Chain A
Amino acid sequence: MNKKMIRILALSLLLTLVIVTGCDNRGTNIPARPVLDRGGAWIAADHIFSPQLRFQFQNDLERFPMWIYIPQVAWDPPLGESRPVPVLILLAPQFGDKFYYANHGLETLLKEMIADGTIQPMIVACVANSPTFGGYLYAGGTNFENLPYPTSGAYDYIIGNLQDSLGLVPYLRRSLHILPGRQKTGIGGVGMGAYGAFRAALLYDTTFGSITVTDGPLDFDGAPGLGNGLVDLFDDALMEQGLLNANDSLFRNTFDSSSATPLSNMFIGGAFAFSPHDTVIYHHMVRPFATPIPPDAYPEVDSTLKINNPADTLTKVIGFFGPGTPYRFNYHLPFNANGSVYAPIWDNFWVTENLENLLDTANNKLNGVDIWIGTTNQAKYNFYQQTQSWINTLTSPPYNYTVTERPYQGTPSQPATADQYLYDLLKEMLIFHSESFGN
């Protein structure tokens, strides 16, 4: 083999080597797992608030269930540094419990967004909606008749007031490392929780500095061009019950309060919260844990029906806990068996609790409150129209508030009828609050 050939062979081998190995290894460029805040959830943050929940159905322990995320810096050493941080209160929608937001990814979102600096560390307290009768719209009403507290529980008072040491915000500030002040306190909600958030912020208008909500019953009586709010749902509730245009007796005796009729439940919850003069029960706590619990009966409360004697019982519905049980309750719906407005109840007890009216009567209005509203025209229960009406109210004279409106839609296969896209909206809600909290 001559030298020339050896050179050529050597060159060929070198070329081969270059081509085989010459394409540099780029790696795969897969992103590293995100760093997470080392804080954690206090999942058993239930607190007993006496006495505002004392007469609530199926809550004889007066439990106020909460799921609270505490960022690492707000824990005590050695994990954290006891640093006070802002607080955000999130209200669950109808039938949502304290894990509602956690089930939509809140904990890991917080861990990720706090760790990468997208949001500042914050404590987030997720409040459960009452599972009974549609959650009472987070309202407590004012007409308790001869009970010291409403049977719905005084949610708005618990959530918003700053004076009562048993209130939520004072309790949180006392128990955790939380920055004081309105600007450092936010509230948010979904659906019924949206109403609850605005309601608490209006009734206690020095408590919250920022609000984020998605569509909800934000304008009970609607607005021109935007429907009639909840009134348009009266027929739907009756159809849900199979009672549209039923005779009065059937309507009053068979209106079902089970969770299988969610729209009806919302109205029942509102009835307990807003028009409680027909829902009075004589109530004393016995907590008979040691005694047998009869099936189908209200298990832990020995209640005896004690109905006032209202002048008009046209829409007074007779409720029951189960067939053959002695435990009964009544409530007063805002509509009759034909789905028509029953003005004495609607006008006097529901419309007065509409956010527009609460805004009119609030001392501080929503001045200085940063507002973010996620809204979709696919929302159920006319919530979109109500939300739009509420936005119009907020952004029009005399208020002229700036509202960050976030329109969104669902996918063709999964329309955004309820809160299917909360996971995606939560990020924006958290960022909004974080920015509102300031430095």
Chain B
Amino acid sequence: MGGAFRALADDWTAAYYNPAAYALIPDNQFGSNSAFLHYRNELIPNYRRIAGNDALETGFFNDRSIYNPHEILSSPSGGLVIRTPVAGETVFGFSIYQPFDYNVTWTLFRPLTTYGTRFTLPTDQYRTNLDVVAFQLSAGREFQEEQLYLGLGLQILRADLIFSEILFRDNPLPQPFDDRPYELIPQWAKSDGHGWGFGLRGGLLWKPNEKINIGFTAHLPSSITISGDSTQLNFYLPDVADTAALRIAGYSLGSIGFLYGSGAQINALADFETKLKLPPSAGIGMAFDVTEKLTVALDAQYMLWSQFDGFEFTYSNFSRISKLVDTSFLIDGADTTYIRDWVTQNTAHPVEWDNAGRVMLGARYEASNLFTFYAGGFTDQSPARKAKQFTPNFVDTGNKYGVSGGVMFHINEWDFGFASQYSSYPDLKISALDSDGDGIDDSFPGTYKADFFETVLSFIYRF
């Protein structure tokens, strides 16, 4: 139904759509959904540095369609609903589902030819795999006979994040050792961790008459501190073939300056911490029974994505830093503070997103005792629609439009559902490399294209 289910929810998924609807579920039930997701993204990089009238190559696969790896991702969810005589006729439920889920991986870069073939970067050069799972205890009950229902869900949120990206760090050596393309040193960083948080999902369902349902919902998730102990940082240092020139410039064998021209790869492991600021949201929906069999619904939702500011990683407890870092020394005998600071430098680059709305329109047609058909469409505002910083880590190219359809089979106590959804993203062309002019790349220029497919198989058993 394109997601327009806020005023119609009548099964365990009301935990997500509107907990108040639990009060209308006439029986006990458990059910499960298995969603199969396919992110079909395309990026034609144009990651070049502009120098006068020239666009300088950087090692990215420019002017060529690059696709994210072909994957069909699965996202299972499930829930249990029990009617109990507790506190009147309160309906309780426990469900596990993913209110936030995003997954994208890219291979986009190979060091320029000066690096020869020495370095092979991992294939997950840009990756965001964010799963937020809600373990939700819900309750719904009638407050005004056949008119007003309220529901509340208490959530424990578990967030799992794998995030990797390529950044470029200034080469600290002077000219000519920092001549193109060694002026910037590629860094690949990958963090893998998880964290816990809480959330509240509240709902209200109002039936002003027999034909109309109106639902209100709100979701208040807490921020989640995600941490891990396996951040991997790889630095691919320039290869100054001319060690004599390095020596003449004062960088003797074993010095830090020498290390920067050594062509070595230095690595480090670290603990990390980042804050996932999930957006609160509120929504309203209305369902109207056009006929006995046909119901149409219209929902609107507003999410405060402006609270989300990307992932600002803080690294600590560096361990297993390449031996080269600690065995290098400054010419004047100073310690290795400099390169340690360089390796452990905070390279966070937050994003600025905007609040976003979503409007959904759906219809349900109960064809018979055996079949119920669903159809819908939606338009979904992109929180990144005005963002100056745009990277392959979040391919949300603009306002999306989607259609969905499905069927539910009713067989005795069982319901079997099948639904599919397609979301169309607009093409997006990003031109700026350094959107704020601070000298640090914060955007990934190129042409982005995206489509999203989702198929959901479900069952519900009523008892």
Contact = CB atoms under 8 A, between A and B. Distances in A.
Interface in B386-420: 407, 409, 411, 416, 418, 420
Contacts of A410: 51-52
B36 A421 contact: no
Contact of A414 (B183, B248, B370): B183
Contacts of A419: 176, 179
A290 interface: no
Nearest to B40: A23
Interface in B126-184: 175-181, 183
B181 A29 contact: no
Contacts of A36: 117
A100 interface: yes
B333 interface: no
Interface residues of A, number: 55
A80 B248 CA distance: 36
A408 B245 contact: no
A424 B56 contact: yes
Contacts, number: 149
A324 interface: no
Interface of B: 36, 38, 40, 49-54, 56-57, 61, 64-70, 72, 107, 110, 112-117, 175-181, 183, 240-242, 244-245, 248, 370-371, 407, 409, 411, 416, 418, 420, 439, 453, 455, 457
Interface string A20-46: 110101111111011010000001000
Contacts of B114: 104-105, 108-109, 423
Interface of A: 1, 5, 8-9, 12, 15-16, 19-21, 23, 25-31, 33-34, 36, 43, 95-100, 102-105, 107-109, 112, 131, 259, 376, 407-411, 413-414, 416-424
B114 to A, nearest CB: 3
B131 to A, nearest CB: 20
A9 B371 CA distance: 11
Given A16-B457, A408-B51, A421 B66 contact: no
Contact of B242 (A16, A33, A103): A103
Nearest to B51: A411
Contact of B65 (A29, A96, A100, A418): A29
Given A29-B66, A103-B245, A416 B371 contact: no
Contact of A409 (B40, B53, B68, B117): B53
A15 B418 CA distance: 9
Given A20-B455, A34-B113, 13 more contacts: A15-B420, A16-B455, A23-B70, A28-B69, A97-B244, A99-B241, A102-B242, A105-B113, A407-B52, A407-B53, A411-B50, A421-B56, A424-B54
A29 B449 CA distance: 15
A21 B40 CA distance: 13
A12 B245 contact: no
A418 B67 CA distance: 39
A359 B180 CA distance: 34
A33 B244 CA distance: 31
Contacts of B38: 20, 23
